């Protein structure tokens, strides 16, 4: 007897977008929404609401920028890896920095693309990460391998971040609950490891590499 049971209904891939630039977010949502098998179910503009939005809307794929107000997309990716393991994370950023790629993969992201690629590539990446693949921009993967790991310790990174905007050693020490001599030691180590001349250059170099 022939089986006449209809096939199960096709469910589109549910996507959450996290992008702080309104025009970019709207354009991405529009372009992805034109794909027959993709549905944008949520859009957020700040990093601090990503996890709650994922838990509420249950997307299959979260498409996250890195530098977002409130919280980094990398930090959100790490929490999603723990709290929503069924949601695949795809990082999409303007800043193709080797350090960002390493941090994204360490945070459990399934993919990393830069924004200047064609939308067809992005839609394909969404499908591929949902299928279990890891998708990484080839040029960036090569750069990350040649750049090597982040030489800075977590505490040196903390001190460099705190040194931004003209903070004094005393300011940094108070913010991080460290002695001023310890802060100076961390700054000196960071300057040496980044092969720069001062903490301003060290901060700039660490950011350009994606270590912070």
DSSP readout, 133-158? --EE-HHHHHHHHHH-S--S-HHHHH
Global pTM value: 0.69
| pLDDT the model gives residue 207 | 83
pLDDT in tens, 155-175: 998 998 899 888 999 999 999
Question: Tokens at residue 132, please?
Answer: 């279990």
Residue 165 CA to residue 148 CA, distance in Å, equals 28
Tell me which residues of the chain have a pLDDT lower than 70.
1-10, 141-148
**Token output for 91:** 């990082």
pLDDT at 6: 43
């Amino acid at each position: 007897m022939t089986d006449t049971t209809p096939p199960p209904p096709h469910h589109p891939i549910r996507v959450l977008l996290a992008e702080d630039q309104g025009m970019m977010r709207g354009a991405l949502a529009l372009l992805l929404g034109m794909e027959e098998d993709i549905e944008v179910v949520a859009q957020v503009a700040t990093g601090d609401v990503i996890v709650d939005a994922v838990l509420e809307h249950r997307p299959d794929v979260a498409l996250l920028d890195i530098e977002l107000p409130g919280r980094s997309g990398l930090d959100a990716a790490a929490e999603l890896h723990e709290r929503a393991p069924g949601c695949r994370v795809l990082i999409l950023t303007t800043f193709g920095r080797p350090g960002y790629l390493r941090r994204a993969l360490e945070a459990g992201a399934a993919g990393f693309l830069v924004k200047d690629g064609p939308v067809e590539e992005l839609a394909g990446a969404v499908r591929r990460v949902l299928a279990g693949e890891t998708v990484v921009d080839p040029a960036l993967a090569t750069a990350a391998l040649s750049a090597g790991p982040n030489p800075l310790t977590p505490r040196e990174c903390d001190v460099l971040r705190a040194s931004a905007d003209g903070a004094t050693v005393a300011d940094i020490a108070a913010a991080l609950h460290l002695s001023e001599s310890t802060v100076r030691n961390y700054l000196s180590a960071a300057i040496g490891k980044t092969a720069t001349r001062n903490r301003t250059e060290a901060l700039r170099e660490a950011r350009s590499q994606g270590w912070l």
